Chain A
Amino acid sequence: MFNQDITPYQNLSILILVSFAFQSILMPLLLSEIDGPVGWMTIIIAAVVLYFSLKPINKLLLKYKEDSFLSISNKIFPRLISRAIGIYYIIMFLIANSILMKDFAEQIKLMMLFRTPLGSIIIVILLTASYATKKGIKTIANISSITVLIAFIPYIFIMIFSTYYADYSNVFPIYPADVEGVLKSVPGAILGFFGFTILLFSNSKVTVQENNRSINKKFILFSTILYVACYLMIIVKFGIKESVHLVWPFISVMKYVNIPGFFFESTEIVGLCFQIIVTFSCICIIAYFTNIAMQETFKTREDGFFIYMQIPILYFMAAVLPGMYMMFPYIQWPIIILSGLNLLIPLIAALVDAKFKKVKNN
């Protein structure tokens, strides 16, 4: 409690939160690429893939207890490759964060502040997030824990009340399933489990590392449940034909929430307020781990000041990048590449490490 590390369950909440944010961003992909309401199969396939790849990765991480993935890769790979891996993660985190921020700022602009310039919304979010990032991992872990507590409870209410006038038969037809579509969208679903990448960095910060494996398993489990629940909620509410058109399915669901006798008329604004807190914690988390990645790639002692470098980069990237929904036609390949790399890099590292060990033993 008094040290600077995070507890296993705080780690869990970090992983679930980050995954949740990316899952809701990537949800339209899942809805539109598959013919029929069987996207949950994709999610489960993705979860199973991740579940089995956790074992070697956890073994590797547990071996080098104090090190995050990048310093492990420094040890087992030649310098050039480990640098490249570091830079890959930095760029990936930056892109992911700016997409998250952009998408989110646009939701706020459309739903709440129609005439406020996007730039100022982004900068407000960014500055607030960087304030938290500067405070370090402990604060961020606390924030994500609190966020899970205070934001998911309203989400559960939203889920419950959104079923008003919903048609449960919308989950059919299950058979025959669109196998091709299901398989094609697996990379997108894998990318949705963004916590899988974060755990490479966050596991080393946990106090009791022996439990990491079970915690990571729990993360995959809870995240899958959450993802499937959200998916089914959207399907049940809109039916597959309508959900294909939605840009932000989750926000659209909130627009329809019908809480009997609820004081506020536009529930989506209230929902968005909680969404702000969730997304905001995700931005903090990713920004912090970008800092860590930068620190370990450039081998500096401190990580806090990297946030000052990140602010302008993130701001310009968020301002320049088009919104996620504009990119959907073009992101088929990038998603396959990104999710492939995210999955393969740690696996290869684990493999190389295992080989090394054998050679040494012989």
Chain B
Amino acid sequence: MKSIKILFITIITSIVLTGCWDSVEINKREYIFAVGIDKNAKNLTFTSEIPKINEGSEEQRLVYTKDCINFADFYATSYLHSEKVISDRLMQVIVLGEDLARDSEAVKRIFDEIQRSPQMNRRVKICIAKGKAQDIINTEIPHNPIVGRFLSEMLIKLKRESYQDIYTFDEAILDLGKTGNAMIPVVEINDKSLKVERAGVFKEYELIGFLEPEEVSSIMVLLNPSKATIRNVNITVEDTNVSLGAVDITMTKKMDLSNDKLKVDYYVTLYSYIDSFIIGSNKLEDQSYLNKIKEEATKNILMVSKKTLDKLQNSYRADLLKIKEDLYKYHKQDYEKIADKYDEIFEAADINIHLDMVIKSTGLVK
């Protein structure tokens, strides 16, 4: 009995003493915060941003640019170029260059690698660079020198306020898997800083075009009405500029798929208030004037929505409204018949938006 115990202890100690395979101290690591991936003639160009570890003083960063085949290759090369161990575990943002995003093969490879990696966080944020990702990473933002953090916080905010549909890699891959389409935020250089306004349309892991901010917002209304924020609607009624803001949006959806004909009706009710009018005018007390405002505003909003739908159906043939998913979930039998030719069905689909506008308030003054 005693000898067995001693044997056990010896085995355990010897195993343990040869151990510490994974021990790398926190200060011996380098953390990539953001990585931008571009396509070059042969391979990919990885631009990584690493915050400098220094005590107290202002934040600084290092930016490495390397030509590599994939992430693994990039880490392997970086390993040889630095005294520290490179770590992707705190990665915040992946920025895909426009050229790369348009190459579906490359995107597929990169997405697969991120999805497969046990280390990389699937919740890493993702966005597309208008132009080169390298330039985005290299941008010196005066008030927040670390681009990774800037973009990460920005994307979280946009998602929370429902300005964008997607902010993480996780969502992108889920959307692409479910419907084959995704709407990924686009980051652009804005003077000395960065801005995220537009969205890139992804179809089958390929960037096929961009959506303007108002188009993104009208899609977001249809996708997530309860959270969506409509930006002000500015119209001119009887030579006076009126600005309307939305308080609340409700929506019901009707779907009908028969004889390969898809008909979708969105019934949207928009509760709004008057943002700005003109001092000295008491026209707002007049109900017919308010009706005119409503009419004008409805026309205005519907115009944008129609344009957006038209773009989605005809130019991109990309179902960003996730109608496909709803069909699969609620009309599985009908959907299975047309699953193969869904794109044509979507293109020919009759999608209508019925907007009802209610002016809830005129603000603090009459």
Q: Chain A residues in contact with chain B, CB under 8 A?
A: 36, 110-117, 120, 123-124, 127, 165, 169-170, 172-173, 175-176, 238-239, 241-242, 255-256, 258, 265-266, 308
Contact = CB atoms under 8 A, between A and B. Distances in A.
Interface string B215-257: 0000000000000000000000000000000000000000000
B193 interface: no
Interface stretch (B118-126, B131-139, B142-150, B311-319): B118-126
Given A113-B22, A127-B11, A173 B119 contact: no
A255 B21 contact: no
Contacts of B11: 123, 127
B332 A120 contact: no
B333 A176 contact: yes
Contacts of A116: 19, 21-22
Given A114-B119, A242-B177, 19 more contacts: A36-B332, A113-B21, A113-B22, A115-B22, A120-B15, A127-B12, A165-B171, A170-B329, A172-B329, A173-B332, A175-B332, A239-B174, A241-B177, A242-B174, A242-B178, A256-B122, A256-B123, A258-B123, A266-B89
A159 B173 CA distance: 22
B72 to A, nearest CB: 13
Contacts of B326: 169
A309 to B, nearest CB: 13
Contacts of B332: 36, 173, 175-176
Interface in B148-172: 170-171
B12 to A, nearest CB: 6
A173 B118 CA distance: 31
B22 A123 contact: no
B328 interface: yes
A124 B118 CA distance: 22
Contacts of B89: 266
B4 interface: yes
Nearest to B4: A308
Interface string B72-84: 0000000000000
B289 interface: no
A239 B178 contact: yes
B122 A114 contact: no
B329 A173 contact: yes
Task: Please list the 10 inter-chain residue pairs (A to B) with the smallest Cβ-Cβ separation, ordered nearest first.
Answer: A172-B329, A173-B332, A110-B118, A115-B21, A116-B21, A113-B22, A241-B177, A120-B15, A115-B22, A242-B177
